[in-house]
Amino acid sequence: MIPAATLPIMDVVCCAPLVRHPLTAAAATDLARTLKAIADPARLRLLSMIAATEGAAACVCDLTEPLGLTQPTVSHHLKVLVDAGLLSRDKRGVWAYFTLVPAALQSLSDVLSPTQV
Amino acid sequence: MIPAATLPIMDVVCCAPLVRHPLTAAAATDLARTLKAIADPARLRLLSMIAATEGAAACVCDLTEPLGLTQPTVSHHLKVLVDAGLLSRDKRGVWAYFTLVPAALQSLSDVLSPTQV
DNA sequence: CTCCTATATAGACAAACGTCGATGTCTCAA
DNA sequence: TTGAGACATCGACGTTTGTCTATATAGGAG
């Protein structure tokens, strides 16, 4: 039950570009865990909706209706993204605001790039 | 049963950077399909092993043993990657050689980058 | 305190997934 | 023609995943 959020994504991704060295089993498992978090239509839309939101912060109530999913399902997807280190949660009073973690997406982008430095 | 390989990944990915516009349901489904293809430890290792191979082409027989999976399972994973447009298959005689499709990985990398042009 | 609202958690269920052993297909060599 | 080897396909299986409803928790208004 260790939250994946504690995984240092940068470490997993940095210095292990996919196309330069064969991945070890452990590195592949870690990277796959993060990729699984974004390999879902609902979660991709959540990420893009949060990124497009004024101030890049959004609460669950704003995200539920345009997605066409129930509130518990949206909360579940948001938890997956937070645990993966892609979003951060900021609880203000009754509302929970979610913000992108840009470095996480950048790390994923870097590891996939065939033209890595 | 339309192979995902016929999906124009560049079109799915290009001009729809994740963090700039909210994804439509259809675009999110297409992108998630491609991401699911690489969100697996065995397939990530296959990609990196093929990339690291002399000439960037490898046959199934070379990939089975280091992965520790059976030949049918490796063939299955390779098919997923080919259908996703990430690998191309080249059958020469009895052997099947697999090669990276660099543009596909680059497209994925681009769409995830928060610092997209 | 009491109610209302926003969110999280629990439990259930169907669908999708990863893996395997068995078998089919195709190519080459003898 | 026959046999062997490389790869693909099939069918089965246990596990994981996405979704829901129902319920719990917790903050703010009155």
- What is the tens place of the pLDDT at every residue in A3-42? 433 444 444 444 447 777 888 999 999 999 999 999 999 9
Which of chain C's bases lie under 7 Å from a protein CB? 5-11, 17-23, 26-28
Whole-number Å distance, CA A99 to C1' C3?
A: 31
Give the integer Cα–Cα distance in Å for A101 and B28. 20
Q: What is the mean pLDDT of residues B54-60?
A: 73
Least confident range of A30-34, A75-79, B111-115: B111-115
Q: What is the mean pLDDT of residues A49-58?
A: 79
The H or E element that residue B92 is part of is strand B87-92
Query: What is the band of A56 on the pLDDT scale with cuts at 50, 70, 90?
Result: low
Q: Say what the pLDDT of residue B56 is.
A: 60
Query: From residue B104, how far is each of A85, A89, A116, B62 by CA, in Å?
Result: 25, 32, 14, 23
Summarised one tens digit per residue, pLDDT across range B19-51 is: 778 889 999 999 999 999 999 999 999 999 999
Of A73, A72, A6, the residue nearest A33 (C-alpha)? A6
| Contact (CB, 8 A) for B14 and B110 | yes
- CB-strand contact A89/C, under 7 Å: yes
- How far apart are the CA of B24 and the nearest CA of chain A, in angstroms? 7
Q: Which residue of A has its CA nearest to B51?
A: A19
Give chain A positions within 8 Å (CB) of B4. Answer: none
% chain B with pLDDT above 70? 80
- How far apart are the CA of A58 and the nearest CA of chain B, in angstroms? 13
Which of chain D's bases lie under 7 Å from a protein CB? 5-11, 17-23, 26-28
Query: What is the band of B13 on the pLDDT scale with cuts at 50, 70, 90?
Result: very low
Q: Say what the pLDDT of residue B57 is.
A: 65
- CB-strand contact A29/C, under 7 Å: no
Between residues B56 and A104, the one the model is more confident about? A104
Q: Say what the pLDDT of residue A6 is.
A: 40
Specify the pTM: 0.85
| Contact (CB, 8 A) for A32 and B44 | yes
Summarised one tens digit per residue, pLDDT across range B78-111 is: 999 999 999 999 999 899 999 999 899 999 998 9
Query: From residue B89, how far is each of A99, A100, B43, B99 by CA, in Å?
Result: 41, 37, 15, 7
Average per-residue pLDDT for chain A: 83
CB–CB contact B106 A100 (8 Å): no
Query: What is the band of A116 on the pLDDT scale with cuts at 50, 70, 90?
Result: very low
